[in-house]
């Protein structure tokens, strides 16, 4: 777990701590080019394109578009992790891995 930071700059502190909280919870981070949609079935990452019309700030987003990204040669693997701070408690997590002998391609 990463500890939260304290700085003299409120904006920087807030931004860094938002990133730290997401990393500690092992959640994906949204950005200007990646949108995250969470549902009971899982999390969907979408590539967000920048359109010509950026909107007027009234909430619409204007010409932003999104498309589905297809990843090839990757898969989910269940991994057992051990927490040495809790009497070596074990739990399982799923991680995205490259298939053996392959390289990742994205369309």
Nearest to 5 by CA among 17, 23, 15: 17
pLDDT per position as a tens digit, 75-85: 788 889 898 88
Q: What pLDDT, on the 0 to 100 scale, is given for residue 56?
A: 41
pLDDT per position as a tens digit, 84-97: 888 888 988 888 77
Q: What pLDDT, on the 0 to 100 scale, is given for residue 74?
A: 77
Asked if residue 46 lies in contact with residue 67, where contact means CB atoms within 8 angstroms, the answer is yes
Q: What pLDDT, on the 0 to 100 scale, is given for residue 85?
A: 87
Q: What pLDDT, on the 0 to 100 scale, is given for residue 57?
A: 41
pLDDT per position as a tens digit, 15-61: 888 888 888 888 888 777 788 888 887 888 887 765 544 444 444 44
- Residue 48 CA to residue 61 CA, distance in Å, equals 11
The mean per-residue pLDDT over the stretch 63-73 comes to: 63
In this predicted structure, the answer to whether residue 5 has a pLDDT above a threshold of 70 is: yes
29: left (phi over 0), alpha (psi -120 to 50) or beta: beta
The residue to which tokens 């080019």 are assigned? 33
Q: What pLDDT, on the 0 to 100 scale, is given for residue 64?
A: 53
């Amino acid at each position: 777990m990463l500890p939260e930071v304290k700085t003299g700059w409120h904006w920087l502190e807030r931004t860094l701590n938002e990133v730290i909280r997401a990393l500690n919870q092992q959640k994906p981070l949204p950005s200007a080019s990646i949108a995250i949609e969470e549902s009971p079935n899982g999390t969907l990452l979408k590539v967000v394109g920048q359109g010509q019309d950026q909107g007027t700030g009234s909430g619409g987003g204007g010409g932003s578009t999104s498309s589905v990204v297809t990843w090839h040669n990757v898969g989910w693997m269940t991994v057992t992790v051990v927490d040495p701070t809790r009497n070596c408690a074990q739990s399982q997590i799923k991680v995205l891995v490259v298939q053996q002998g392959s390289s990742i391609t994205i369309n």
